Structure 1
Amino acid sequence: MDGYRISTDINEMDFDVIYQFISTSYWAQGIPKTTMRKAIENAFCFAIFDSDNNQIGFARLITDRATFAYLADVFIVETHRNKGLSKQLVSEIIDHPELQGLRRIMLATRDAHGLYQQFGFEAINAPEMLMQIHRPNVYKNG
């Protein structure tokens, strides 16, 4: 990761970069700024910075840091893709000392299965056990 570094210090993170990307993503398009800020403040966040200290990537975990985590909002900005940074980011998350011993880490992805499979993620064995309340238009109604 020459020239790049990963931080979990929320005070270093650039909310505008995060919001710009997430609010136009397929999974959270139109998310209100207040909702995104609250999501960041209540999660365990990771950010990647370039050599000029510009934030170029992000991921957050919704977790109790003891038994369970849900990985969300993973991204690398377009100009820094294809450099292995998403792999470095996921590796850092999986190996982080505060996340060892978790019984389950989950995520949802439309198009990055290959990335996550490299770290042991697999399709749900018994999807009939899982339930959800899914409100795909919640950001459009508020």
Structure 2
Amino acid sequence: MSQNETMADVLHEIESDRLPELLALFHSAWWMSDRTAEETERILRESDIVVALVDPPSDRLTGFARVLTDFTHIALILDVVVAPEHRSSGHGATLMSTIVDHPRLQTVRSLELVCQPDLVPFYRRWGFTTEVGQSLLMRRTNDPRLTS
């Protein structure tokens, strides 16, 4: 572990008193910058797996990711985010390892995610590939940020 890496505690649920921290974390990423408290509460309630990281010294949320899955054929990893001040410190790797190694996901046929091109090398560390046969990502959205 390098000098600026820190250990974080892993949570699998987020208590309501941490909702403002999660919103602040969401608002640090362009694709989640407009999420509301109501949407975030619903996201937490409806996600199959939630992983959050807490920095022990400050007791603040520093990372988050979630999974939607049928626990058989597919699991979709969503909303992987690390607080700006904790990026490049191993927090993203902790989130991804916690998900990929999650006991309930070990027999799922396909783990999938969508990411920006500059993050492809990061996700390749866990065996993710851009080689998906003839498959294409298709999207129907009313959010213009997701089409440019």
TM over 0.5: yes
Q: Cα offset for 1:9? A: 2.5
Aligned to 1:50: 55
* CA 1:124–1:56: 2 relative to 1, 3 Å: same
Aligned length: 138
Is the contact made by 1:58 and 1:75 (CA closer than 8 Å) also made in structure 2?
A: yes
80, 101, 112: which is aligned to 2:119? Answer: 112
Decide which moves more: 114-123 or 56-65. 56-65
Partner Cα separation in structure 2 for residue 13 and residue 94 of structure 1: 28
RMSD between aligned residues:
2.4
Q: 4+ residue stretches of structure 1 with deviation over 4 A?
A: none
Is the contact made by 1:24 and 1:30 (CA closer than 8 Å) also made in structure 2?
A: no
Pair 1:103-2:117 in alignment:
no
Q: Cα offset for 1:131? A: 5.5
Pair 1:64-2:41 in alignment:
no
Q: Cα offset for 1:136? A: 4.7
Unaligned 5+ runs, structure 2: none
Aligned to 1:20: 24
* CA 1:90–1:130: 2 relative to 1, 3 Å: same
Is the contact made by 1:47 and 1:57 (CA closer than 8 Å) also made in structure 2?
A: yes
Partner Cα separation in structure 2 for residue 20 and residue 60 of structure 1: 16
Q: Give TM-score, length-normalised by structure 1.
A: 0.82
Output aligned runs, 1:69-84, within 5 Å: 69-84=75-90
Output aligned runs, 1:130-141, within 5 Å: 130=136, 132-137=138-143
Q: Cα offset for 1:60? A: 0.7
